[in-house]
Amino acid sequence: MHQQYPVSRFLLLSIVLIFSCQAPPPIETSKNNKQPWAIALHGGAGTLSRTLMTPEREAAYRAALDTALMIGETVLKNGGSSLDAVSQTIIYLEDCPLFNAGRGAVFNHEGKNELDASIMDGSTQKAGAVGSVSVVKNPILLARAVMEHSPHVLLTGRGAEQFAREQGIQTIEPSWFFTQERWNTLQDALKEEARENGKHGGIFKNSDFKFGTVGCVALDQHGHLAAGTSTGGMTNKRWNRLGDTPLVGAGTYADDDVVAVSCTGHGEYFIRYAVAHDVWARMAYQNLSVQEAGNRVIMQKLKEKGGEGGLIAVDKNGNVTMPFNSEGMYRAYANPDTRKIAIYQE
């Protein structure tokens, strides 16, 4: 039996409820949200000596950067998450044979492609990464699955590939990653190594085809930051060498309260100096702007130590910086007011 309330008690209850209830939280939609958004991406700090760059080649790179940027912009403009913007932009760059990630990755000493990637969610500071995978079409997707569907941060080699299969992530014949240009670069590297009696320890240094990693950082309309990076590593690498790309804090870092960072360059230096985290630390502890922090790390510290490369970073307010100490860095950024694509120093 339902209890009957007299009308006067019902009225009293309604009045109490009206005056004691707080306003419901506003519904978050892309239309009523006033947060700015911003995105930056890179296609590496190598393969771009001006002497080798033809107008056609430059046009191809610019077109690819433009498409990648548009993919990320579209996600953010429509109120999508920074994680989706970063993942989708990097998937495109991995599938594009111009860049050293996914299809078009450089070859290791044995003539194989070993791919590394990482991603970090600034809102939870969760991260996922994979190293030395050779049959995963889009390593950034696997890194994201590690973050979202495993209790771990970094998986490598066969175990990572087994996890990919269990997660239904696309695997592919290793020949998918082959490009003639990267193959030729390995042959040059092997010849040079033989001439130098293996002096470079398996890492090819004297080439214009050094760093081509891809990366993306984004701030979405909900105030969340994310960063991701993906690479084939360095030509003629050996012994399952991993660079900075799959290492959170070295190649990738994101924290909603501060900044999102993605790096490219000579990975050994980026690991030693924890470059991505160093940018975060200088901003968090020294109160530096993203521009100042990025410059001090790349143009001062890393340069003094002999480390070549660059980074892209976006802070919690949407400010973007893209410093590099190499000849150039394929890069692009956009926010609601600006759009820019660049390769060399300007």
Whole-angstrom CA distances from 290 to 81, 258, 293 are 22, 9, 5
Whole-angstrom CA distances from 111 to 15, 107, 156, 191 are 77, 5, 19, 14
Subset of 40-79 contacting ligand ASP (CB under 6 A): 44, 46
Q: Contact between 213 and ligand ASP (CB under 6 A)?
A: yes
Q: Which residues are 42's β-sheet partners? A: 215, 331
Contact region with ligand ASP (CB under 6 A), list: 90-98, 178-186, 206-214, 337-345: 206-214
Q: Examine the residue annotation and report whether 185 is marked as an active-site residue of this protein.
A: no
Q: Which is nearer to ligand ASP, 100 or 108 (CB)?
A: 100
From the list 267, 307, 318, 328, which residue makes contact with ligand ASP (rule: CB under 6 A)?
267
Q: Are strands 126-133 and 154-156 parallel, antiparallel or unpaired?
A: parallel
Q: Which is nearer to ligand ASP, 265 or 318 (CB)?
A: 265
Overall residue count recorded for the chain in this entry: 346
Strand runs labelled E in 163-234: 214-219, 225-231
Active-site option among 89, 185, 213, 321:
213
From the list 89, 100, 132, 134, which residue makes contact with ligand ASP (rule: CB under 6 A)?
100
Residue 35: CB atoms within 10 Å: 14
Q: Which is nearer to ligand ASP, 70 or 342 (CB)?
A: 342
Contact region with ligand ASP (CB under 6 A), list: 64-72, 230-238, 254-262, 289-297: 230-238
User: Could you give phi then psi for residue 139, rounded to 5 degrees?
Assistant: -55, -25
Query: To which residue do tokens 């309604």 refer?
Result: 14
From the list 80, 131, 139, 212, which residue makes contact with ligand ASP (rule: CB under 6 A)?
212
Q: Which residues are 226's β-sheet partners? A: 121, 218
CB of 149 to ligand ASP, least distance (A): 25
Residue 171, helix vs strand vs coil: strand
Residue 189: CB atoms within 10 Å: 25
C-alpha to C-alpha distance for 233 and 276, rounded to whole angstroms = 17
Angle between helix axes 157-166 and 139-149 (nearest 10 degrees) is 80
Give the x/- contact pattern for ligand ASP in 12-31, rule: CB under 6 A: --------------------
Q: Contact between 189 and ligand ASP (CB under 6 A)?
A: no
Q: Contact between 243 and ligand ASP (CB under 6 A)?
A: yes
Q: Which is nearer to ligand ASP, 163 or 330 (CB)?
A: 330
C-alpha to C-alpha distance for 247 and 256, rounded to whole angstroms = 19
From the list 245, 325, 326, 335, which residue makes contact with ligand ASP (rule: CB under 6 A)?
245
C-alpha to C-alpha distance for 301 and 261, rounded to whole angstroms = 17
# residues near ligand ASP by CB under 6 A:
15
From the list 43, 104, 233, 294, which residue makes contact with ligand ASP (rule: CB under 6 A)?
233
Binding site for ligand ASP (CB under 6 A): 44, 46, 100, 211-213, 231, 233-234, 243-245, 264-265, 267
Catalytically active residues, by annotation = 213
